[in-house]
Amino acid sequence: MINFSYTIWILLLPFLMFLLLGLAGHKLKPKLSGLLGTVGLGVITVLSYITAYKYFFTSEKIDNAYQKITAFNTVWLQFTDKLHIDIGILLDPISVMMLIVVTTVSLMVHIYSIGYMKGERGYERFFSFLSLFSFSMLGLVLATNIFQMYIFWELVGVSSFLLIGFYYQKPSAVRASKKAFIVTRFADLGFLIGILILSFNTKTFDFISLTNPAGASIIQGGKIAFLGLSVMTWSMILVFMGGVGKSAMFPFHIWLPDAMEGPTPVSALIHAATMVVAGVYLVARMFPIYYFSAPVALNVVAYVGGFSSLFAAIIACTQTDIKRVLAYSTMSQIGYMMLALGVSGYGGHEGLGYMASMFHLFTHALFKSLLFLASGAIIHAVHSNYMTDMGGLRKYLPITHMTFLVACLTISGIPPFSGFFSKDEILAAALDHNKFLFFVEWAVAGITAFYMFRIYFSIFWGKETQYHHTPHEAPAIMTIPLIILAIGAAVSGFLPFNRLVTSDGRAFETEINLAVAIPSVLIGLLGIGIAYVMYRKESAIPDKLAATFKYSYKWAYNKFYIDEVYLFVTKKIIFRYISEPVAWFDRHIVDGTMNAIANLTQNVSFRIREFQSGQLQKYGFVFVTGAIMLAILFIYLWK
Amino acid sequence: MNYGIPIQYFLVLATIMFFAGVYGFLTRRNLITILMSVELILNSVNINFLAFNRYLYPHQLEGMFFSLFVIAVAASEAAVAIAIIINIYRRFTTINVEDVDEMKF
């Protein structure tokens, strides 16, 4: 047995760094605090890579399967003998893979931020929040039990809130951070209820016993409970609701595009690579329960994922803010991952979808953070988020251009870049289990290629825009992370995920299914081709198309009015018919009673206080009268 | 034992003095007069002590001593009270008790 107890430092270091930078950061020089945060994260990254190496290549396999290892565990809250909440570290293929994803992207973002955030107010605050986020995200992926996961789940929500609202002088940023927090918090309500139902029925929080396919918890809860579905199904759907909120799936996706108000490195780290895939990770973590005792819930996962990916891809085609396009693209890609989990089976080749989902999570983290960081470099150079202000930038930003191109090719699924492999596995898994969803995803692959190359051509080719001052390439500290991530995005497709990260821990063989690969590459190329025709040079085709499909274009441009629906439901219905009467009741009945009591007391005391007049002789009179009365009482009543 | 004067005379005198003192204490506005009324009350008590001692326990002297004690206390009380009155006068430039009413709500 290998000793993994040092992994506790992976959790503790970022937390200590958060405390150090948060409490003493303002006393340090900004540069030093940024450097400290980055070095701290570098150490964690090294530790994570060592852990991954030891886990995947030297740890003992039992029955050819990777084991779940509890590296550290301690009882945190003891309620009764049986009911206690633990904090610990669980190592298994997906958590180790997530360690790599989180630390790698986080390190790149840290390095990039040193350049990007230079001269900003609150530099050290930014780095302390980044450390807090890294701590919470690592705690989430390493959680040994569902309650620990929930705690860290909320912590990542808080760090996301803090970082979206980083520019707190900007009202739009404040609004966006509130929106993100409230929407995800609302979804987490479902998660919490789901956890309670689940653990009430299975009598455990622990992931190892919860997800053991042969264990008792899988079998229980099969009986019909409510609306024709079993207790287990309901609890898993509710748990998934938390994942829907965090991963910005339909219908809780409305916070993600607004979250782009945060600094771009934050969007790359939190809203592209790590936090938003927490929902996928959650479903993957609980996968055996979904598969064995709540297949209906798994179907829900698949359809929500499929619908969200299509929905987001369509919206992404019409947006002009590049960060928003990327946000919708993130949502669409996460939809892919959800769908892959939803159509997956358990064990061996059946578990292809599971493996594909994790694979896509990995490659997506690399290429999407690359896209965001590159767009950060572009925004840095142009001082605008809007595509309409850009064009012909390839001459000015050669490194950003190349890395962006690599990322676009990757996301479009063009071989030999990594996105091709992971997307291919997802499509293959979908084809095996659900033909309808396969066609949806196949179409989405084409739309993805189209909108990605739409922004690529509009930014780097297209019309020659006159700039106020010549855009210049970002400094090396920002381009080096771009290059590293581009290399990662290009070659990570060759990682043998089928041997490392599988549903039951056992390796299985995969091959490129040509019947899937060829159509998917073709539709990707088709999307690129259309984008080339429309956006390579300035042309009237996009406007004409928009005019032809006036109404559908308008719907998509306005994000299908989902935000307005939310506003209508909350403001016009909930606020008006529930909140306002309740508020009235509170103000008039509850407060009224309290005020009445207070007024009465006050009036009475105003009357009473006149007895204390300061007139000595009045006191004396009262005293003498009292004494006489007592004397009379004693004389006549004392027998 | 017959001393010629019945005890009731003493008691009535003491009662009259006591209530005269109480009345003066409650109605007079001048602090010096109030102090004098207090002396009157104390002296009426003294008379009671002496009368009861003489009539009820003629061979004991506790009543006598007690009234001597009361006289001593009354003297020191008068000294303290006059010191207070002087201070009040310095502060308020009056010794009218109605004007000295700062100790209130």
User: CA A547 to CA A607: how far, in whole Å?
Assistant: 79
Q: Which residues pair with A72 in a beta bridge?
A: A89
pLDDT tens-digit series, residues A151-163: 999 999 999 999 9
| CB < 8 Å to A612, chain B | 104-105
3-state secondary structure of A347: coil
Confidence band of A629 (pLDDT split at 50, 70, 90): very high
What percentage of chain A exceeds 70 in pLDDT? 97
At residue A228, the pLDDT reads: 67
User: CA A384 to CA A415: how far, in whole Å?
Assistant: 32
At residue B105, the pLDDT reads: 66
Structure tokens that stand for A569 in this block: 């439901």
Q: Is A639 exposed, middle or buried (0-12, 13-18, 19+ CB in 10 A)?
A: exposed
Q: Is A614 on the interface with B (CB under 8 A)?
A: yes
Cβ partners under 8 Å of residue A167, min gap 6:
A173, A261, A262, A263
Q: Taking the mean position of all CA atoms in its chain, how far away is CA A541?
A: 37
Q: Is A22 exposed, middle or buried (0-12, 13-18, 19+ CB in 10 A)?
A: middle
At residue A328, the pLDDT reads: 92
Q: Of the candidates A456, A450, A439, A458, which has an alpha carbon nearest to the alpha carbon of residue A315? A: A450
- The nearest CA of chain A is from the CA of B23 a distance in Å of 9
Question: What integer is the mean pLDDT of A525-552?
Answer: 80
pLDDT tens-digit series, residues A377-391: 988 888 888 887 887
What percentage of chain B exceeds 90 in pLDDT? 67
Answer whether residue A42 shows pLDDT above 90: yes
Cβ partners under 8 Å of residue A406, min gap 6:
A367, A370, A417, A486, A489, A490
Question: What integer is the mean pLDDT of A420-440?
Answer: 88
Answer whether residue A219 shows pLDDT above 60: no
Confidence band of A374 (pLDDT split at 50, 70, 90): very high
Question: What integer is the mean pLDDT of A480-490?
Answer: 91
Give, for A94, the enclosing helix (H) or strand (E): helix A93-116
**Pick from A154-163, A477-486, A489-498, B76-85: least confident:** A489-498
At residue A223, the pLDDT reads: 60
- Give the nearest partner residue to B26 out of A613, A614, A621, using CB atoms: A621
**Contact by Cβ (8 Å): B41, B25:** yes
Confidence band of B98 (pLDDT split at 50, 70, 90): confident
At residue A295, the pLDDT reads: 85
Mean confidence (pLDDT) of chain A: 87
Q: Do A620 and B103 touch (CB under 8 A)?
A: no
3-state secondary structure of A206: strand
At residue A557, the pLDDT reads: 78
| CB < 8 Å to B105, chain A | 609-610, 612
- Give the nearest partner residue to A615 out of B22, B101, B105, using CB atoms: B101
- The nearest CA of chain A is from the CA of B58 a distance in Å of 27
Q: Is A609 on the interface with B (CB under 8 A)?
A: yes
Question: A65 or A449: whose pLDDT is higher?
Answer: A449
At residue A225, the pLDDT reads: 63
| CB < 8 Å to A624, chain B | 22, 26
**Residue A137 CB-half CA count within 13 A:** 32
Which amino acid is residue B73, in one-letter code? V
Answer whether residue A463 shows pLDDT above 80: no
Question: A539 or A450: whose pLDDT is higher?
Answer: A450
Q: Do B100 and A616 touch (CB under 8 A)?
A: yes
User: With the C-alpha atoms ordered A498, A499, A501, A502, is the resulting torsion angle positive or negative?
Assistant: positive
Question: A121 or A224: whose pLDDT is higher?
Answer: A121
**Residue A328 CB-half CA count within 13 A:** 27
At residue A218, the pLDDT reads: 59
Structure tokens that stand for A636 in this block: 């006549």
User: CA A547 to CA A559: how far, in whole Å?
Assistant: 17
Residues of A125-154 as b/e, b for ≥16 C-beta within 10 angstroms? bbbbbbbbbbbbbbbbbbbbbbbbbbbbbb
- The nearest CA of chain A is from the CA of B73 a distance in Å of 21
Confidence band of A290 (pLDDT split at 50, 70, 90): confident
Which amino acid is residue A311, in one-letter code? F
At residue A224, the pLDDT reads: 59
Residues of A429-446 as b/e, b for ≥16 C-beta within 10 angstroms? bbbbbbeebbebbbebbb
pLDDT tens-digit series, residues A300-314: 999 999 999 999 999
Residues of B89-100 as b/e, b for ≥16 C-beta within 10 angstroms? eeeeeebebeeb
Q: Of the candidates B79, B91, B11, B76, which has an alpha carbon nearest to the alpha carbon of residue B50? A: B11
Question: What integer is the mean pLDDT of A556-569?
Answer: 81
At residue A107, the pLDDT reads: 93
**Pick from A31-45, A145-159, A175-189, A466-480: least confident:** A466-480
- The nearest CA of chain B is from the CA of A171 a distance in Å of 50
User: CA A505 to CA A495: how far, in whole Å?
Assistant: 16
- Give the nearest partner residue to B105 out of A609, A615, A620, using CB atoms: A609
| CB < 8 Å to B25, chain A | 617, 620
pLDDT tens-digit series, residues A225-272: 666 677 888 888 999 999 999 998 888 888 988 888 888 999 888 888
- The nearest CA of chain A is from the CA of B83 a distance in Å of 18
Answer whether residue A149 shows pLDDT above 60: yes
Cβ partners under 8 Å of residue A243, min gap 6:
A191, A249, A278, A279, A280, A282, A283, A338
Cα separation values, A138 from A14, A144, A213, A326, A616, Å: 9, 12, 26, 24, 75
Confidence band of A471 (pLDDT split at 50, 70, 90): confident
Question: What integer is the mean pLDDT of A109-121?
Answer: 87
pLDDT tens-digit series, residues B2-47: 567 888 999 999 999 999 999 999 999 999 999 999 999 999 999 9
pTM of the complete model: 0.79
SS3 readout for A45-72: HHHHHHHHHHHHHHCCCECCECCCEEEE
At residue B3, the pLDDT reads: 64
Answer whether residue A220 shows pLDDT above 60: no
- The nearest CA of chain B is from the CA of A638 a distance in Å of 22
| B6: preceding bond cis by omega (within 30 degrees) | no
- Give the nearest partner residue to B102 out of A614, A617, A624, using CB atoms: A614
Q: Is A623 on the interface with B (CB under 8 A)?
A: no
The CA-CA-CA angle for residues A351, A140, A341, to 5°, reads 20
Q: What is the ipTM of this complex?
A: 0.84
pLDDT tens-digit series, residues A329-357: 999 999 999 999 999 888 778 888 899 99
CA closest to A606 among chain B residues: B105
Cα separation values, A292 from A149, A214, B84, Å: 22, 10, 94
Mutate to test the interface with B, among A616, A619, A621 (most CBs of B within 10 A): A616
Structure tokens that stand for A599 in this block: 């007024």
At residue A123, the pLDDT reads: 85
pLDDT tens-digit series, residues A512-528: 778 888 888 898 899 88
What percentage of chain A exceeds 90 in pLDDT? 36
Question: What integer is the mean pLDDT of B37-61?
Answer: 91
At residue A32, the pLDDT reads: 86
Q: Do A613 and B104 touch (CB under 8 A)?
A: yes
